[in-house]
Every structure is written in structure tokens, then in C-alpha cells.
Structure 1
Amino acid sequence: MTVLTDGLVVDGVRLAYRDRGRGEPVIFIHGTPSHSYEWRDVVPHIEASGLRVIAYDLLGYGRSERPADRDTSVAAQTDLLEHLLDTLGLEQVNIVAHDIGGAIGLRFAIAHPERVRRLMIMDAVSYDSWPSPTWQKIIDEQLDEAAAMSQEDFDALLTRQLTMAVADPACMTGDVLRAYLEPHRSPLGRASFFEHQVRHYDSRYTQEISDRFDRLTMPVRIVWGEEDQWQPLHYAKRLSGDIPGAQLVVVPGAGHFLMEDDPDRVVREIRDFLSDPAAQG
């Protein structure tokens, strides 16, 4: 998958997106600190399976618009997902979602179960699992100061965080690391990171849906990196116990960004889930 170059105006804002293939639609929702680049080794294989694949950058992320006056919280991104599907004329989709994308997918599926055929969440934020102590301290005490940090200091901060997101640190070096840092390689990009991402790291968006999982009527598969340092495995087990009929798949040797540690396994899990006759919504 190449960098997103298509643009679509949705609810008055521009989203970078990619819509390829034919067949049953599946939409990929990335996490933070990230953008749709994280799906680059996954999406082409899912397209090759005969599915229509939509990937997009969340508002304020990647190559999507970074509006100064627009809410980019998990709740607002969930509403925007509904507008995106309406703009694309999609009544029902499969959702594959990671990290905060998982929270967006869960919120959307709870609010609109009739529009989600199947839901796969990967290493999702949930309950009170976020933000981490590092980010909470920045939010509480240093947000404005952090937004004004130098490029060198910012790169060092984000590199430390991204390296924690993989089980194998070698996966987050060179061109891969540069691609994750690239959207923030300017004063605007750094400020946007704190304003559109970090400012909205807030567990109320996941805690307020924790008693509504019985509304999920579609098949749900939870895929989790066994060595996830950001979202420990016990949250995956709690989710699988609370979501009716959910399947839990634990990927050994993978961290939070399991599509970096083991993209082949991620592809296999998505293909299996979307083709499983037992997982028909």
C-alpha cells in the first residue's frame, strides 16, 4: 500500500483515504501515535482476497486535515466514521481497528450494530487502560510546553514511545521509524500531534461504553500481541469475557504494533475472520 494520496471531504473536513478493490467492504482504522502507514503490509493482501478495502487517516492524523477548531477525540472520530460511510454510500462494513481505532470501532458498533458486519479489534485501548503515565503527566502538566519542544527532543520522545510498541526493536528503525515520525516533521506537525492526539487521550471514552458490550450483535474477534507493553494482555482477556461470543487470539512474539512484529499473522487472522462461515453477521 502506498501513502494515501486520495482526498475526500467528509462533514466539512478533508480526509486522506484509499479505496480499492471490489467485493465486501472492510475499513481499516489505525491507532496512535500512528497513521494508516501501519497497514501497509496488510492491506494489499486483503485486497488480493477479493475484498473492497478502505483505509484512511483519522482527522488530525497523517495526511488528513488538521483543523484548529475541530474536536478529534475518540467520540468525535466515531461520529466522523459514520459520516465517512454515508459519504461512500456504505450501509454495512467489516471493521478492522487498532489501538484507539479499536475504541472507535467499538463505539461505532455499539451505537450502530446494524452497520457492522464483523468487528476485529487489535490491541485496543479499553476501560481505564489509557493514557499511560508518561502521556498523563504531559497532559496534566506539560502539554503547552511539550508542543513547543524542538524537533530533536520531539523525535527522541516519540522514538522512545514507538520502540516500546514493538516486541522486536529492530522493527522500529530506519525507514519505518522515519515514516512514523514524518507527519510531525514541522512545527505545525508537532503542535498538531499534541493538540489532535495527546490532548484527547482520555479513558472516559472507553469507560463509558464498558457496560454496553451486550449491544454487540455481530461476530467479534480480538487479536492481541502477547508482549504488548502499552495495553497488557489482561485487558484483552477482560474484553473477551465481556463481549458476547468474542474470540480471543493471542499472537506470541508480538507487541502493541503487532502488524509490525508479525504482519503475516495479522493478514492470516483477518482473512480467516472475514471468510469464516461461523463469523457471519
Structure 2
Amino acid sequence: MKHIVVDHTLINNTRIAHGVHGAGEPVVLIHGTPSSSYIWRNVMPHLVAAGYQVHVFDLLGYGLSERPWDTNIDTSMTAQVPILEGLLDLWELDTFHLVAHDIGGGVAQRFGIQSTERLRSLTMIDVVSYDSYPSKRTRQQMDAGLDVLIETPDQQHRSHFSDWLLSTVQNKQKLSDDAHDVFLDFISGPVGQASMFQHQVRHYDPSHTMELADQMHELGQVPVKLIWGADDAWQVTDWAHKLNQAIPGSELTIIEDCGHFSPEDQPGRVAELIVTFLSGR
């Protein structure tokens, strides 16, 4: 197991794990839920080999970044935008290519609409948008109360979310034992379980993306690539087509035999699509 975030910094008095790899044009990768920057470990080397400098980080409340004890600390998609901006200052990046997965797409959409001039391009992979989340099942769990979920016995919690993680890929073997265990450990245990519900599930609120619904066309000012798993059960391809229609000039590629965690199911194909897109800018 090798994490690709190796450094730590304070952004708005919270500790953020991050890493920079390679040299060349800057590319920033934003992960989603319930994962971490670890999801990029098989994509990043291809980008570095193609001559890009790759910047990765764990969102606040995720992965190796701080899990705030204070529940008043906002870890929503909207609140992650200042975290990204702080890292851009640290990395001294004025303009860059942005690649986002899952709820990272919500962060990217908010940043891209408010700071379009800073984007060289935007790639969104199986992202949330509009009111595409949470799922009916997750909504029912949220309605039952987060406290109930936080206090679920560890073995029962791990069993449930082990199955949940496996539903992110089309080929169950593609979510290797290492990756499965890394993601599961991050959201389990005395810190991880409570943190997952307080810092992730609690903020599965479509208001963060619905606020942007009538502004999505503004992203068409920069080159936009959409990459989607044909078998994505979390964000079905209907949302890919809706985004494609809403963002003028955007390109859409749907990957066959691929689920929601595209960087796990088809990392080589995802990397190839990103490199081809960026090299044509």
C-alpha cells in the first residue's frame, strides 16, 4: 500500500494531506466519496509519464487529512472550495488543468464557475451534478438519523460498507483487496465511522449543485471532458448526457464494462482519455 499524499499543510487552520508528482503542465486531481486521493494511484503515473505535474490532496474530513472533532467545521462541497484555493496558493498555481471524480465534481463545478479564468481545462469523471444524489437508499438512512448510523456496531458497519464499496465497480476483482481495505478503513473504526457520517454523508445535499443548475453553461468557456462508466450504478449515464448537453462544446466518452469508480475499474483507459484530451488543448 502506497499513498500518493506525503505532505501536510494547514489550510484555514485544518490539516490537509497533499502531494506533488512529476514536472510539466499542472494537473490537479480531486477525489470523491467514500474514497480519497488513493483512488488516483493507478492514473497518476500515466499523467506523470506524459509530462504533467500532478497535484493531489485528500479533502477535509477524508483520507489522511484532518477529521475535525468539531461538527461545526463545514466539510461540504461548498466548503471544500476554499481548501482547494488554499492549496493552489501553496502550490503557486495560477492556471491549471482540473480533473474531478464523484463529489469532487461538485467542488470542481463550483470552483470552475466562480474562477473560470484559472482553468486550462476541466475533466469530470462520474461526477455528481444537479440533484443526482443521494441515492434513495442513502436518503432513507439519513432520514433515520446519523446518530443511529454512527453507533452501529463495527462489524455490522464494515459489512454494510464493504458491499457498498464493491458496488462502485463493474468487475469486483478490479477493486483490489488493498484498495477495498484502504477505503473501508478510512470510513470505519473509532474515528473513521463517525467521521464518515459527520463529514461525508451529512453533506450529501444537492443544494450545493442545484445552486449551479442555471450556470453550468459557463463552464463551456473552457475545454470540458466528461468520462463515465457505462455501468455506473451510483451516477447513471443519464446525468452524463445532461451535463454534456448543458456545457457547450463538452466532449463525452462512456467507458464500457466500467462502474462508478472508473479509476479503479479502468485506470489505464481513464488515464489515456485524460492524456489525449489534455494533449489536444
Asked if residue 118 in structure 1 is aligned to residue 127 in structure 2, the reply is: no
Instruction: Assess if the C-alpha contact under 8 Å between 1:213 and 1:244 holds in 2.
Output: no
- Identical counterparts, % of pairs: 42
Instruction: Assess if the C-alpha contact under 8 Å between 2:216 and 2:247 holds in 1.
Output: yes
Instruction: Assess if the C-alpha contact under 8 Å between 2:157 and 2:188 holds in 1.
Output: no
- How far apart, in 1, do the equivalents of 2:75 and 2:278 lie? 29
- How far apart, in 1, do the equivalents of 2:79 and 2:178 lie? 32
Describe the superposition over 1:4-56 as per-residue Cα deviations: whole angstroms up to 9, x where unpaired. 22112122211111112221110100010101111110111111111111111
Describe the superposition over 1:127-159 as per-residue Cα deviations: whole angstroms up to 9, x where unpaired. 111001121112121311101112211111211
Scaled by the length of structure 2, the TM-score of the pair is: 0.95
Matches within 5 A, 1:47-86: 47-69=48-70, 70-86=73-89
Scaled by the length of structure 1, the TM-score of the pair is: 0.95
Aligned to 1:244: 248
Secondary structure of 2:217's aligned partner: helix
Q: 2:183 pairs with 166, 173, 180, which one?
A: 180
5+ long unaligned stretches in structure 2: none
Deviation at 1:87, TM superposition (A): 2.2
- How far apart, in 1, do the equivalents of 2:217 and 2:259 lie? 28
Q: CA RMSD in A?
A: 1.2
Secondary structure of 1:54's aligned partner: strand
Aligned to 2:238: 234
Asked if residue 12 in structure 1 is aligned to residue 34 in structure 2, the reply is: no
The alignment covers a number of residue pairs equal to 277
Aligned to 1:141: 144
Q: 1:173 to 1:134 in 2, by over 3 A?
A: farther
Deviation at 1:173, TM superposition (A): 4.9
- How far apart, in 2, do the equivalents of 1:32 and 1:133 lie? 17
The aligned amino acid for 1:2 is K
Aligned to 2:205: 202
Deviation at 1:174, TM superposition (A): 2.1
Aligned to 2:164: 161
Asked if residue 253 in structure 1 is aligned to residue 261 in structure 2, the reply is: no
Aligned to 2:38: 37
5+ long unaligned stretches in structure 1: none
